[in-house]
Amino acid sequence: MKDLVLTPEEWVRQHWIEFLITSKKYPKGLFSVERGLKYNKLQKRTDILIYDRLGEPYLLIECKAPEVSITQKTMEQAAIYHQKLKTPFLILSNGIKHISLEWNVASSSFTQNQEIPATPK
């Protein structure tokens, strides 16, 4: 077990993990938190990455502190991770505002959803 400093961003991350496990019944074993990722020779870290039961990336959640607005810059940051991971779903959240997106392969673009993605199959 790893000790964490409860920063505002970490508070958002922990609440998402708890919500997805408790309310949406996502299995704990499918979660990866602060996973390393290389992009253009730069080391990046995803906040929450959830895999499906076949081990493929399923849902990427980009967390910001509550006082940080979800902006185009937030979307661009998450899109960089998405280019590498190819997740079908993406959530941007600051703990107050949440944007749930689904990747449309045919149009190579995201569409906004009203719902949180179902538990991975």
CATH of 27-113, picked from 3.50.40.10, 3.90.1570.30, 3.40.50.180, 3.40.640.10, is 3.90.1570.30
pTM: 0.87
pLDDT tens for the chain, 121 residues long, are 555 567 898 999 999 999 999 999 999 999 998 765 655 666 567 889 999 999 999 999 999 999 999 999 999 888 888 888 999 999 999 999 999 999 999 999 999 999 999 999 8
CA distance 46 to 109: 20
Contacts of 6 (CB under 8 A, 6+ apart): 14
User: 110, 101 in Cβ contact below 8 A?
Assistant: yes
Beta pairing class for 89-93 and 57-63: parallel
- Domains of the chain, by residue range, sit at 27-113
Q: How far is CA 67 from CA 40, 63, 94, 96, in A?
A: 29, 12, 7, 9
